[in-house]
Chains A and B, each alone.
Chain A
Amino acid sequence: MRLAGIPWFAAGLAGLFVLFCLAAATGQYPLSVGDVLGALWQGISGARGDDAAATVVLDIRLPRLAAALLVGLALAASGATYQTVFRNPLVAPDILGVSAGAGLGAVFAIFLSLPVAMIQAFAFVFGLGAVAIVYGMAKVVRGAHEPILVLVLAGVVIGAVMGAGISALTYLADPYDQLPAITFWLMGSLAGVTYDDLMAAWPAVALGLLPLAALRWRVNLMALSEDEARALGVDTARLRVGLVVAATLMTSSVVAISGTVGWVGLIIPHMARFIVGPEFSRLLPATVLIGAAYVLAVDTLARSLVAVEIPIGILNAFIGAPLFLWVLARARRSWS
């Protein structure tokens, strides 16, 4: 199926905005969509009143909704990138040990009782560090063949080591103060996201997304075999490093604010591929839109389904697992 680019993207964007308004109206203090639009207008125009709607929307719900959009688009876009670059439709941000590495960094920072900004920095450094180690290992280990397979296996190994590190820190953590924070964070939650978190995360996500958007056609060539891509004039090693660093930057910066939100990077690119096909110039915008919408919807359910908030990681796993099975069953044609 092929769709013309711009009108389709505009329609998707409009749909996302409608969803966003509905999500902003949902919650323990119910608002009408009109209230939401009014509050948003107050926020944009700077002429802020102190009515309840403005407080609820701008101070309480907006950072969380924005975080949901940011987490969704970042994880989905990096998942689509990893899948194309590693020619493997079952790869997700986890495969390079990125999520586990960023997770270990964040847990380490929580363990040291560091402020939020340092949690971000630690997650980012550990996430990139995990990829660098995985890539270095793969370079040392690989023989003449199958660098991709070696890379993926190295990712699994490093992911396991990082996971052990997280377990060790959890074991050592102060059970009254740090452990609940670590556990809650590990489950994944957008409940505590602040404007400061957002301000730290969005430039990093933008910095990762920009090269992906600029390279959106060339990324396709990475889906070919190594020899084919190089015979078409592509410097595969450089392009791969660039794309992986960009995707990793996006993943680790949102892991730092939301904890480990699984499935998104794996499932969303498949759903987007159903609709627009694998061609990356179309796949990337579709993935970004659907990823943002998915996390927004799941997080809204997480905070409004029952009186007590369900951590998004738990709800997401319950929704994501069957969704993935459905994708798997339907998707025999999504890859060959």
Chain B
Amino acid sequence: MVVRLQAQGLGIGYPDTPVGRGLDVEFQADRITMLLGPNGCGKTTLFRTLLGLLLPQAGEVTLDGAPLAGFSRAEAARRLAYVPQVAQGYFPYAVLDVVLMGRAPFLGTFERPGPADREIAMAALRDLGLIDIAERPFTAISGGQRQLALIARGLAQDAPILIMDEPTANLDYGNQHRILARCRELARNGRAVIVSTHSPDHALAYADRVVVMKAGAVVGAGGAEDVLTAETLSHVYDMPIRVAEVGGRPVIAPA
């Protein structure tokens, strides 16, 4: 099992407002790891620290065995792709232009994407079934398509590690499952895929491993069915939760 991204004794947060400390996490190639925890438990702060966007307050992040702090921004970007939540506020860039931005880590400061970059971007769009809307404005497509387009940008970035911040937020039921199935496929192609989610059901259905956080600390990590017990979930979300079985598969429900 190849560990791509790892942190030990990690302190996260800001100098005057620590968010969490003593976090041990590792993320492996060929695996989709899902990160769960209540609002404000530090998931996004952890992601920003893992991406090198925020300096650790303690400990360090290692990327392929070397300290992340030793990588330049572009070097890190060739290994770590970030797929944010779909946000407002974009200018109406064509979907293809948005995906082409994923090539930035491979281009010099004054360079523009060439035919090879376009080919890679088109391949990513084809891969995610977006080729027909390549020329449409990003602002004029549906939320699910936007999320897919941002994933396509992550693919165009060609990084072995994909970090996705709640890719299923704001999506309808069908799109949630299509996106997650796609994430699992990406992990099957050798990538380390890291996904945060608010749905334990999603983790049970799609995750190879889960990491559960509460109040800035990791309270459980391992196989989904081992970690996501009624006891742990009830503790984490501060409400009685039970795990039932439907058709041989575990399902989460309020107790």
Contact = CB atoms under 8 A, between A and B. Distances in A.
A281 B94 CA distance: 13
A89 interface: yes
Given A223-B93, A232-B105, A335-B139, A281 B112 contact: yes
Interface string A247-284: 00000000000000000000000000100011101000
B192 to A, nearest CB: 15
A336 B92 contact: yes
Q: Which of B93, B97, B138 has the most CB of A within 10 A?
A: B97
B97 A220 contact: yes
Interface in B81-122: 81-82, 84, 87-94, 97, 101-102, 104-105, 107, 109-113
Contacts of B84: 225, 227-228
A87 interface: yes
B74 interface: yes
A227 B104 contact: no
User: In the complex, which range does the number of interface residues on chain B fall in?
Assistant: 35 or more
A89 B91 contact: yes
A335 B92 contact: yes
B81 A231 contact: yes
Contact of B112 (A217, A225, A335, A336): A217
A232 B92 contact: no
Interface in A284-336: 333-336
Contacts of A156: none
Majority SS at the chain A contact face: loop
A231 B105 CA distance: 9
A221 interface: yes
Contact of A234 (B73, B94, B140): B73
B101 A220 contact: yes
A231 B77 contact: yes
Given A232-B77, A232-B101, A232-B105, A216 B112 contact: yes
A231 B51 contact: yes
A144 interface: yes
Contact of B53 (A214, A223, A227, A278): A227
B110 A228 contact: no
A34 interface: no
Contacts of A223: 90-91, 93
B89 A336 contact: yes
B226 interface: no
A230 B81 CA distance: 11
A336 B101 contact: no
A84 interface: yes
B91 A335 contact: yes
A222 B140 CA distance: 21
B97 A279 contact: yes
A225 B87 contact: yes
A279 B93 contact: yes
Contacts of B157: 232
A4 to B, nearest CB: 13
A224 interface: yes
Nearest to A228: B84
A218 interface: yes
Interface in A179-221: 214-218, 220-221
Nearest to B135: A2
Interface string B159-192: 0000000000000000000000000000000000
Q: Which of A217, A218, A281, A333 has the most CB of B within 10 A?
A: A217
A217 B111 contact: yes
B9 interface: no
A273 to B, nearest CB: 7
23 contacts: A144-B14, A218-B110, A223-B91, A227-B48, A227-B53, A227-B84, A228-B82, A231-B80, A232-B157, A233-B73, A233-B74, A233-B104, A277-B92, A277-B97, A278-B92, A281-B112, A333-B137, A333-B139, A333-B140, A335-B89, A335-B91, A335-B92, A336-B138
What are the nearest 4 A-B pairs in CB distance? A233-B77, A278-B91, A231-B82, A233-B74
Given A89-B91, A231-B80, 7 more contacts: A217-B113, A232-B104, A278-B92, A278-B93, A279-B94, A334-B92, A336-B91
